[in-house]
């Protein structure tokens, strides 16, 4: 009986991730951005522990891998896309964009499309066992949710407009599938020599959180991308 229960623990956690993502989508469409953001964070926590549980309990399975990708595309693909879709309806539109104003929000779903491509690529790419190629989908989702919640006043002011949002959608979507090495925070040991980049990243994260507050996750993701680009160039 214990073995039967143990076998289903990782997939149950994955389903909790999926459930959190579905709630996030619903909240996003209703402009409840803080709740949508919270649900993405909860989903990310479940996503972290489902893989850990599978490894610790030695119950990894092909269906678990497929379920994990499906859940991730909802929580880290469709949920942030839903946030941006709703945000597109609230941002300022300059005169030249008014003729296509009703169509612009749908470009937000490029985030979900490229997230699916990113996840599919990750599943078959043997290079991504200890690092990443392209921006991880949870990082992209946290960027959009944090940026929207923390900078809502700016995003809906006349200082920002739909064109800037569209460009940002394109850039972040392309980063998901770009052939750019992104480091992982997996520690093989605690030595400074083997983990300089990870420690530097974590040290800078503290003031970013304190200064940017609700936009802290977005600032940290940008810092993660920048540090990955710098260290990639130096290799």
Tens of pLDDT, residues 40-61? 999 999 998 887 787 777 777 7
Arithmetic mean of pLDDT, 72-98: 97
Tally of residues, the chain: 235
Arithmetic mean of pLDDT, 89-103: 95
Torsion of CA 51, 219, 40, 14, to 10 degrees: -10
Is the pTM of the predicted complex or chain greater than 0.85?
yes
* pLDDT-wise least confident of 18-27, 28-37, 210-219: 210-219
Of 148, 134, 137, 144, the residue nearest 69 (C-alpha):
137
Give the dihedral sign, CA 11/17/23/26.
Answer: negative
Task: Give helix 79-88 / helix 137-150 axis angle, nearest 10°.
Answer: 30
On the question of pLDDT at 188 being above 80, the answer is no
The more confidently predicted of residues 114 and 186 is: 114
* Domains identified in the chain and CATH numbers: 2-234 (1.20.120.1760)
* pLDDT confidence band for 2 (50 / 70 / 90): very low
């Amino acid at each position: 009986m214990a073995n039967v229960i143990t076998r289903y623990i990782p997939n149950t956690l994955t389903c909790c991730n999926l459930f959190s993502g579905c709630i996030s989508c619903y909240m996003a469409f209703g402009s409840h951005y803080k709740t949508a953001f919270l649900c993405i964070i909860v989903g990310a926590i479940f996503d972290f522990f489902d893989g850990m549980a599978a490894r610790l309990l030695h119950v990894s399975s092909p269906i678990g891998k497929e379920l994990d990708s499906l859940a991730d595309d909802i929580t880290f693909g469709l949920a942030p896309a839903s946030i941006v879709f709703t945000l597109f309806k609230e941002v300022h539109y300059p005169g030249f964009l008014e003729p296509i104003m009703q169509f612009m929000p749908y470009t937000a779903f490029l985030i979900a499309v490229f997230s699916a491509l990113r996840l599919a690529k990750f599943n078959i790419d043997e290079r991504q066992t200890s690092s990443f190629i392209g921006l991880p989908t949870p990082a992209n989702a946290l960027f959009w949710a944090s940026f929207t919640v923390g900078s809502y006043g700016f995003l809906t002011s006349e200082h920002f407009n739909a064109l800037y949002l569209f460009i940002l959608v394109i850039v972040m979507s392309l980063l998901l599938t770009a052939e750019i090495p992104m480091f992982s925070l997996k520690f093989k040991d605690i030595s400074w020599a083997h983990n300089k980049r990870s420690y530097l990243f974590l040290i800078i994260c503290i003031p970013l959180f304190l200064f940017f507050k609700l936009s802290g996750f977005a600032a940290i993701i940008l810092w993660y991308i920048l540090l990955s680009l710098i260290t990639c160039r130096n290799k």
